[in-house]
Structure 1
Amino acid sequence: MFKILIVEDEDIIRKGLIYMMNWVEIECIVVGESRDGEEGLKMIESLAPDIVITDIRMPFKDGIQMLEESIEKYKYEAIIISGYSEFEYAKKAISLGVSEYLLKPIDFKKLAETINNLKVKINKKTKFKEYVSSLDKTNIYKDILDITHYSNIKKKSSYVKNMIDYIQENYPKKISITDVSKIYNLSTVYLNSIFKEETNYTFNDFLNRYRILKSVELLKQGNLMIYEIADSVGIETYKYFSQVFKKYIGKSPTEFIKDVND
């Protein structure tokens, strides 16, 4: 069941929302009701609703203020109901990530449709969270590159350990095994041969895998553009970054971000 919180200062409207909607039919339950945004904020913190239905004009703290202080932190979906049709209110609500702006008197059929759409959105987010959770450091390292294993294993050659250290320290730069060969004055063929023997990867494959691990961490943070992430992990072109990312993750960076936002 999806948890609903109703924040509305007009008793008749609030009670109407609670008792005139067939919440069970749309797989929802009203977990709380509040007369103002200040109390509503406390209920959001304590009840963790999936969807908050709120008025704008309320005493103590209005709906917009309540949303500003909580929607990003608690990651719920929001529906604003109001008798005010001013565009400025709608723009502010949309900027906060509000899913729908409904005018009073409430059209319960429209409200049910909106909630059903939000349920689909919430389910997508839940599935994506599960997907991202499966891509935590431990699982990524096992599926893409078990860096802990390769860092701790007793190597036959110190060259391999040093090459891994070199990758970890310099992956944001344009590097290749040629750079390492110059450091040790050994041929690239020899270095690649011992690297492949002890890690099962070529130097370039290991480097790309490590870069993708770092890019996934940055994508999960969500504060950089894809081209910025590509550059920060040492891949100069967006196109090549997308190709490498999809090779190891199974979807492009754009698809990865789209899942976050859907």
Structure 2
Amino acid sequence: MTMHILIAEDELPTRRGVLNALQQRSQGQWHIHAVENGLEALSYAKSQPVDLLITDIRMPGLSGIQLLEQLRAEGISVVSILLTGYAEFEYARTAMKFGAINYILKPFDHESLLDAVQEAVAMISERQRTSQTAEDEHEEDALAPKVRSESIQKALEYIKAELHRPSLSIKDVADCIHLNPSYTSVLFKEETKYTFSDFVNRSRLLRAKALLHQTDKKVYEIADQVGFSSSKYFVQVFRDVEGMTPNQYRNDHS
């Protein structure tokens, strides 16, 4: 996932210095936008995603602390780093309760700035990974249907364990629960609201999505691990359901 960084600084030389330093370090991996006051920063954050805010603590119209207060009031969660003069040190400490995680005394050297930004980016990335993992686990649990039939409950457990097998069929499931395939198919749809093939494909895609952003496995390795007969077929099914390729999904969720 692209990191979105907003710079709010009314002093042009400082604003340019921060922007240039981050652009050089980013090498295209971060989306960086700069504004010259707190009001512009607030307006931008209301309309565009912002993961990290680097803001001067003293600006005309809306100070850095007031900006953080307004963002919180708007329900906009953003990690922030403050640019501050020595005389405003106590204000910087006050701002910590509004999401600021660090402050940099002006004038500052580029290495101190970049170290603070890299630390913030690492923290944000870890939060995003943790959040995405929790969402995936919740989504996978939500697709585990609540069924009344012990036979179908056993069938779901069998499917989960055998999902890696491309040849997994309704007959395999029927044999496992000691029913004939036709009756198993009907009972499965009644209990889960999904056809057998739909349920298996959904389960494979959920597992694939988790692997895409939790591991560095290649697409063909994931296709094989979740039971698709070929990586080409996996990509086709993934694109049909998600509207993007597996690699595009990984880039958006990494």
Q: TM-score range by the shorter chain?
A: 0.5 to 0.7
Name 1:29's counterpart in structure 2.
55
Q: Which runs of 5+ in 2 are unaligned?
A: 18-33, 42-53, 57-81, 86-95
Name 1:17's counterpart in structure 2.
14
Name 2:158's counterpart in structure 1.
166
User: 1:210 offset after TM fit, Å?
Assistant: 0.9
For 1:23, the aligned partner's letter is E
- The change in CA–CA distance for 1:75 and 1:199 in structure 2 (over 3 A counts) is closer
For 2:190, the aligned partner's letter is E
- SS of residue in 2 equivalent to 1:236: coil
- SS of residue in 1 equivalent to 2:161: helix
State the superposition RMSD in angstroms. Answer: 4.5
- The change in CA–CA distance for 1:213 and 1:48 in structure 2 (over 3 A counts) is farther
Name 2:147's counterpart in structure 1.
153
Distance 1:48 1:216 in 2: 37
User: 1:46 offset after TM fit, Å?
Assistant: 1.9
Name 1:70's counterpart in structure 2.
119
Distance 2:183 2:165 in 1: 23
Distance 1:16 1:46 in 2: 24
1:230–1:237 CA contact under 8 A, matched in 2:
yes
Which TM-score applies when normalising by structure 2?
A: 0.52
For 1:159, the aligned partner's letter is S
The answer to whether residue 97 in structure 2 is matched with residue 46 in structure 1 is no
User: 1:236 offset after TM fit, Å?
Assistant: 3.3
2:163–2:226 CA contact under 8 A, matched in 1:
yes
Larger RCO (CA under 8 A, 6+ residues apart): 2
Distance 2:253 2:156 in 1: 32
For 1:154, the aligned partner's letter is R
- Which residues in structure 2 correspond to 1:71-220 (within 5 Å)? 73-75=122-124, 136-139=136-139, 142=142, 146-147=143-144, 150=145, 152-155=146-149, 158-174=150-166, 175-220=168-213
For 2:195, the aligned partner's letter is T
Q: Percent identity, aligned pairs only? A: 25
User: 1:15 offset after TM fit, Å?
Assistant: 9.9
Which TM-score applies when normalising by structure 1?
A: 0.51
User: 1:19 offset after TM fit, Å?
Assistant: 9.6
User: 1:154 offset after TM fit, Å?
Assistant: 1.8
Distance 1:249 1:135 in 2: 16
The count of residues paired between Structure 1 and Structure 2 equals 177
User: 1:211 offset after TM fit, Å?
Assistant: 1.2
User: 1:206 offset after TM fit, Å?
Assistant: 0.8
Q: What does the per-residue CA deviation read over 1:221-248, in whole Å, with 9 as the maximum and x for residues that have no partner?
A: 2522222222221113112112222333
User: 1:70 offset after TM fit, Å?
Assistant: 2.5
- The change in CA–CA distance for 1:236 and 1:47 in structure 2 (over 3 A counts) is farther
Name 2:231's counterpart in structure 1.
238
- The change in CA–CA distance for 1:171 and 1:54 in structure 2 (over 3 A counts) is farther
Name 2:90's counterpart in structure 1.
none
Distance 2:35 2:152 in 1: 65
Which deviates more, 133-142 or 233-242? 133-142
Distance 1:210 1:22 in 2: 45
Which deviates more, 23-32 or 166-175? 23-32
2:8–2:36 CA contact under 8 A, matched in 1:
no
1:48–1:74 CA contact under 8 A, matched in 2:
no
1:4–1:32 CA contact under 8 A, matched in 2:
no
- The change in CA–CA distance for 1:33 and 1:229 in structure 2 (over 3 A counts) is farther
Q: Which runs of 5+ in 1 are unaligned?
A: 7-13, 35-42, 57-61, 77-127
